[in-house]
Structure 1
Amino acid sequence: MSLPYAPWLPRVFELQAQLDGLLNQLLETANQAATLRAVSYDMERLLLSYEIASFANLGADIWILDDRTMAQLDASIVERLAGISSQFPDLATVQRDYQFVRRDQLSPNGRWIPAGVNRYLARAASTLNSRAESLH
């Protein structure tokens, strides 16, 4: 005796596998976008701290990241950018922009160049955000 649902069961399994695959793709895309936005956010935090420190004579030294926090953010950004560049080769310019101003941003040694640091970090953060948006 044949059960009435037997002919349909293989198709149900196929559809379930397709749904699982689509869900995994959506989750992966969401995770990639979240990673790009997180790196962008951390770059923006470093930039804000740098800009506040560079204009300390304006009395705006209310929020400046301490050296330890800056070093941790920097190390995290460098590590994540390496992964991003390998996953998204077209974002290698972001890594290059960050590396270009990294030394001046972390230890300006009296050589404040807020416009230059702003230009490269803002461009890198904007590129990451744009790419994250395009993933959706």
Structure 2
Amino acid sequence: MIGYTMVGTTDLKRAERFYDPLMALIGQERCWCDEQVASWGRKDDDRAPRFFTGYPFDGNPAGIGNGAMTAFLVPSAAIIDRLFATAMEQGGSVEGEPGFRPQYGDGFYAAYVRDPDGNKLAFVCYDARPSATEA
């Protein structure tokens, strides 16, 4: 259903520095980069969804859509915790600390961040289990 997602940036090099370590943690490689845009996904499958960041095509400043968010599905709460910490280290800001969100279902674990341009991202796992220290 989804071909790709794109978020705008005002500084492509900064965006690349932010997204490169996050995408590496979820097994997505850099697929494309030029002076206007960068993308991550699977180089071996051009039909798999990709994530892009770049300068808006129309030349106007990148704007932040209220309510727009890209959610990355990952296999475990531990990876979400690492993604959240990495996003903070790379200049992101907190939109929701990592944790269970039982209102969305048993095992729903997520963290919410904004990239340096203000784009909202979520890292989610649908079937996380509490650790022995949380139980």
Please confirm whether the aligned pair reaches a TM-score higher than 0.5, indicating the same fold. Answer: no
Larger Rg: 1
TM-score for both structures, normalised by structure 1: 0.28
